[in-house]
Amino acid sequence: MTQKHEPGECRCSRGLTRRGFLSTVGAGVAVASAAGKLAAQPAASQGADVLPSAEMTPITLNINGRTHRLLVEPRWSLLFVLRERLGLTGTKVGCERGECGACTVLMDDLPRYACMTLAVEAQGSEITTLEGLMRGEELGGVQQAFVEEDAFQCGYCTPGQIMAVEGLLRAHPEPSQEEIQMGLSGNLCRCGAYVHIFKAAGRAAQLKRGQ
Amino acid sequence: MLPNFSYVRPKSLDEAVRHLDSPENRIHAGGTDLLGCLRERVFGVAKIVSLSGIQELKGITETAEGGLRIGALATLREIAESPLIRSKYPVLAQGAAEAASPQLRNQGTLGGNLCQKPRCWYYRGDFHCLRKGGDLCYAMVGENAFHCILGGDACYIVHPSDTAPALVALGATVRITGAGGPRTVPVEEFFVPPTQDLTRETVLEHNEILTEILLPPPPQGLRSSYRKVRARRSWDFALAGVALALQFRGEEVAGGRVVLSGAAPIPWRSVEVEEVILGKRLDAETISAAAEAVVKNAEPLAQNDYKLPLFRAIVEEELSAIAKV
């Protein structure tokens, strides 16, 4: 599982923009004022709040073991928020229509396309991105396997492939060849490095078992 | 970037229905089809009403009568992996497993799979086609390799679902809740063909929510299977597919249904095949007659007559396989 990092040693924090992002510390005032605005919205008879169109709304996302409180528009995808608001650029933009797999992340251990997931819908789930597979400065098992097996050419699809393998191995620690191929069937590699990618998935299963 | 919309995640069905007070407001279950349509500007949206906070729409449970109740929010992955469904209704588990990709199956729901919009590239693309209120079906004379061979009439879409044919074959029903109260509809009558109404795909009104799918207890001697052929193995929509749910008495087919995917604007019940096999043993002669019958009334377009041998072949192979179970 992912290690929890102290805020000071989180590698992802380099890419953070101050605009739009409210760190856990010191976010109280801004969140409170935005929440105050929300409370003034007429909700459908005491039910859940309606998040207004084209306005920033505070949400909480659990990403790589850290809690992030930030402001989002309802229409923002999880992919957009990860990259453009949180600087987690390990998750790649590909087709943005749920066909290529470059943006694969885990939500509650299951691979999902971040481009087809609204950020507001991701609240309440444990989100894992490529950055979350790191063990401090060391590569995680799946990442290491991709290096060992030379499982990429241009490398653009690689983060998504790695996350799909990570999700597969969390559900099936000892996958068959067919399970590997089916598990990766939602990720395209236009360089055609599939043979090495499948090998890397098998190697990753070994590494995760400590072999 | 998606167009602007407001968003609400109600906790109860009543509350969700209240938010559906305009046709501009759209239901979000898994979101995989909705977000695709919004990004491609197939239709607009004012408010997204998310169902993900409504617990009663989740879960797969056995009913008192020995059937199954599947919450509309059950994901395709949950359907494909459910031991109950795999053992009692293999056709449905296979259909769900063959749909989309792992990532989409983790997110997409059974309810959403039934309510998804057509995949016609003119409908999804920048064409003001008949179904979108224009006055021409571009597929009639354009690129129509992936369009229908049965049931087309002015519009030539194929229904994209792999689970719907299984549910029609099994005689499932759906429960619907809306401003006008609850109602139950057989899945077979849930879909609207272009001959009936060009502007809609299902009987669902804008202020109604599909809440659950009900499967009858498996009848004695039930054998079922789903076969899908697509352009590539990894993931794609069906070029041709067949869902079988047949009741055997000894070696004889005593009842059941044969439903096609990739063939027609709705999951297409092949009455022609059913007539051939009903009351018969599935010997070589019967299977051969059934394979001919499946495309007897087909009317292929300029580029999709390759579907005729495909459907003949999968009907032959699947009937042969199910006879040996």
State the pLDDT at residue B55: 97
Give a yes or no: residue A25 inside a domain.
yes
A26 and A54 within one domain: yes
Write the pLDDT tens digit of every residue in A118-168: 999 999 999 999 999 999 999 999 999 999 999 999 999 999 999 999 999
Amino acid identity of B111?
A: G
Q: How many contacts (CB atoms, under 8 Å) link A and B? A: 114
Give a yes or no: residue A160 inside a domain.
yes
Is it the case that residue A13 has pLDDT exceeding 50?
A: no
State the pLDDT at residue B235: 87
State the pLDDT at residue A30: 42
Give a yes or no: residue A135 inside a domain.
no
Instruction: Say whether A113 and B104 touch across the interface (CB within 8 A).
Output: yes
Write the pLDDT tens digit of every residue in B207-226: 999 999 999 999 999 999 99
Mean pLDDT value across residues A105-130: 98
State the pLDDT at residue A6: 41
Is it the case that residue B299 has pLDDT exceeding 90?
A: yes
Share of chain A above pLDDT 70, in %: 79
Write the pLDDT tens digit of every residue in B272-285: 999 999 999 999 99
Residue B292 banded pLDDT, cuts 50, 70, 90: very high
- Give me the CATH topology for the region B55-116+158-215: 3.30.465
Is it the case that residue A11 has pLDDT exceeding 80?
A: no
Q: Which residues of A touch B35 (CB under 8 A)?
A: 77, 98, 116, 118
Is it the case that residue A23 has pLDDT exceeding 50?
A: no
Is it the case that residue A184 has pLDDT exceeding 80?
A: yes
A18 and A91 within one domain: yes
CB B134 within 8 A of CB B127: yes
Q: Which residues of B touch A185 (CB under 8 A)?
A: 101-102, 233-235
The Cα of B242 is separated from the nearest Cα of chain A by a number of Å equal to 21
Maximum pairwise Cα distance, chain B: 60
Give a yes or no: residue A89 inside a domain.
yes
Is it the case that residue B33 has pLDDT exceeding 60?
A: yes
A89 and A151 within one domain: no
Q: CATH code at A43? A: 3.10.20.30
A74 and A32 within one domain: yes
Write the pLDDT tens digit of every residue in B163-207: 999 999 999 999 999 998 999 999 999 999 999 999 999 999 999
A180 and A111 within one domain: no
Give a yes or no: residue A2 inside a domain.
no
Q: Which residues of B touch A97 (CB under 8 A)?
A: 36, 39-40
Is it the case that residue A27 has pLDDT exceeding 60?
A: no
CA angle, residues B55, B164, B127, in degrees to nearest 5: 100
A93 and A183 within one domain: no
A167 and A108 within one domain: no
Give a yes or no: residue A95 inside a domain.
yes
Residue B119 banded pLDDT, cuts 50, 70, 90: very high
Is it the case that residue A22 has pLDDT exceeding 50?
A: no
Domain extent for A71 = 7-130
Which range is least confidently modeled, A32-36, B157-161, B164-168, B276-280?
A: A32-36
SS (H, E, C) chain A: CCCCCCHHHCHHHHHCCCCCEECCCCCHHHHHHHHHHHHCCCCCCCCCCEECCCCCEEEEEEECCEEEEEEECCCCEHHHHHHHHCCCCCCCCCCCCCCCCCCEEEECCEEEEHHHCEHHHHCCCEEECHHHHCECCECCHHHHHHHHCCCCCCCCCHHHHHHHHHHHHHHCCCCCHHHHHHHCCCCCCCCCCHHHHHHHHHHHHHHHCCC
State the pLDDT at residue B22: 97
Residue A29 banded pLDDT, cuts 50, 70, 90: very low
A155 and A63 within one domain: no
- Using a CB–CB cut-off of 8 Å, the residues of A that contact B are 44-45, 47-54, 73-77, 80, 96-98, 101, 104, 107, 110-113, 116-118, 120-121, 164, 167-168, 182-183, 185-186
Domain boundaries, chain B: 55-116+158-215, 222-323
Q: Which residues contact A98 (CB under 8 A, 6 or more apart)?
A: A113, A115, A116, B32, B35, B36, B103, B104
Domain spanning B222-323, CATH class: alpha beta
Is it the case that residue B156 has pLDDT exceeding 80?
A: yes
Return mean pLDDT, chain B: 97
Q: How many domains does chain A have?
A: 2
**Residue B131, CA distances (Å) to B126, B201, B301 in order:** 13, 10, 18
Amino acid identity of B244?
A: L
A177 and A114 within one domain: no
- Using a CB–CB cut-off of 8 Å, the residues of B that contact A are 1-12, 15, 18-19, 28, 31-32, 35-36, 39-40, 46-48, 50, 52-53, 77, 100-104, 106-107, 233-235
Which residue, B319, B143, B163, B150, is CA-closest to B238? B163
Give a yes or no: residue A98 inside a domain.
yes
CB B5 within 8 A of CB B47: yes
A104 and A80 within one domain: yes
State the pLDDT at residue A12: 39
Q: Which of the listed residues A90, A107, A130 is the one where a domain comes to its end? A: A130
Which residue, B148, B157, B91, is CA-closest to B120? B157
The Cα of B247 is separated from the nearest Cα of chain A by a number of Å equal to 31
Q: Which residues contact A55 (CB under 8 A, 6 or more apart)?
A: A37, A73
Return mean pLDDT, chain A: 85
- Cα(A155)–Cα(A193) distance, integer angstroms: 10
Q: CATH code at A172? A: 1.10.150.120
Residue A44 banded pLDDT, cuts 50, 70, 90: very low
> In terms of DSSP bridges, do strands B268-269 and B240-249 run parallel, antiparallel, or are they unpaired?
unpaired
CB B290 within 8 A of CB B279: no
Q: Quick one: tokens of B103?
A: 């990532």
Write the pLDDT tens digit of every residue in B46-104: 999 999 999 999 999 999 999 999 999 999 999 999 999 999 999 999 999 999 999 99
A123 and A19 within one domain: yes
CB-nearest to B8 from A50, A76, A107 is A50
A114 and A37 within one domain: yes
Is it the case that residue B19 has pLDDT exceeding 90?
A: yes
Residue A31 banded pLDDT, cuts 50, 70, 90: very low
